[in-house]
């Protein structure tokens, strides 16, 4: 049983690699993923605006919900891509050659390699930096007790006694944005392998499974979630903690823009 399972896994990995190579040659998987992630970010922003208009003013509640909805929208867009690509396979002149790479050699030659995707098959199986540092200028006197002044992106803010929590919250919010960008670049980087795997699980294996029982069948969502859940979770945690700290530092604020206005006004 163990050797059979390992053999199925190796065969599946070989199929995915072949499809990945074909996707990279015949399409632009990273560009496709960039468009999907852009739409994902827009769905998250729209969700946040809708929640704010509905009375959800707490950033630490609204931001994680928005990211969760955006992640569901991301999976939904993968499903749409898979459906569209599966339909195109039925009319693509390369379909025989594409599927031939994943068909075991023991299929009867009279059988058709691919059945219709829309009928019996489904998705059930993815500048300046201190110019005078050498001068001997005396340090400026410390500000009076009870006040603190900081500079952020060229602006000086008088933050009072609560300055430190606000700066920490702002720094974490910036870190959350950076985490979101890093997660996006990572998903774009793995896009060829990710799309190939969900294509194998969601279209090709499903089409062949009834003919070749030895083909390992998986649901395409399993691969999609396994490859993307960690970066999505990290981004959710970062934004949730940042929203909580921003809310604690500026209780009246409902958005990051309100926090910025608070900093500018002192």
Select from 65, 128, 47, 117 the least CA-distant residue to 89: 117
Where b means 16+ CB within 10 Å and e means fewer, 189-203 reads ebbbbbbbbbbbbbb
At residue 254's C-alpha, the angle toward residues 251 and 256, to 5°, is: 100
- pLDDT for the residue numbered 5: 66
| pLDDT tens readout for residues 8-18 | 777 778 888 88
What's the length of the chain?
266
Burial class (CB in 10 A: 0-12, 13-18, 19+), 223: buried
Largest CA distance in the chain: 90
- pLDDT for the residue numbered 217: 63
- pLDDT for the residue numbered 152: 44
Q: Record the pTM.
A: 0.70
Q: What is the mean pLDDT of each run of 10 residues along the chain (266 residues)?
A: 69 82 89 97 96 93 96 96 72 42 44 41 42 46 47 45 70 91 96 91 60 61 94 95 90 86 76
- pLDDT for the residue numbered 207: 53
Rounded to the nearest 10 degrees, the angle between the axes of helix 59-91 and helix 220-249 is 160
- pLDDT for the residue numbered 187: 97
């Amino acid at each position: 049983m163990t050797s059979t399972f390992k053999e199925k896994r190796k065969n599946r990995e070989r199929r995915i690699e072949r499809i990945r190579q074909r996707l990279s040659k015949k399409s632009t998987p990273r560009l496709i993923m960039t468009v999907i992630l852009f739409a994902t970010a827009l769905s998250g922003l729209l969700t946040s605006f809708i929640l704010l208009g509905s009375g959800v003013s707490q950033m630490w509640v609204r931001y994680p919900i928005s990211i969760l909805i955006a992640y569901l929208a991301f999976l939904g867009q993968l499903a749409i891509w898979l459906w569209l690509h599966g339909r195109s396979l039925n009319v693509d002149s390369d379909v025989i050659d594409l599927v031939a790479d994943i068909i075991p050699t023991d299929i009867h030659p009279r059988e058709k390699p691919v059945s219709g995707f829309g009928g019996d098959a489904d998705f059930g199986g993815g500048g300046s930096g201190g110019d005078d540092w050498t001068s001997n200028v005396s340090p400026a006197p410390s500000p009076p007790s009870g006040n603190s002044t900081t500079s952020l992106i060229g602006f000086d803010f008088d933050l009072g006694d609560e300055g430190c929590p606000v700066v920490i919250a702002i720094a974490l919010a910036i870190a959350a944005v950076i985490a979101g960008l890093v997660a996006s670049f990572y998903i774009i980087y793995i896009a060829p392998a990710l799309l190939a795997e969900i294509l194998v699980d969601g279209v090709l294996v499903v089409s062949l499974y009834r003919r070749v029982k030895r083909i390992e069948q998986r649901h395409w969502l399993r691969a999609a979630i396994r490859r993307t859940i960690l970066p999505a979770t990290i981004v959710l945690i970062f934004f949730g903690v940042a929203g909580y700290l921003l809310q604690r530092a500026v209780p009246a604020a409902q958005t990051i823009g309100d926090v910025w206005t608070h900093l500018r006004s002192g």
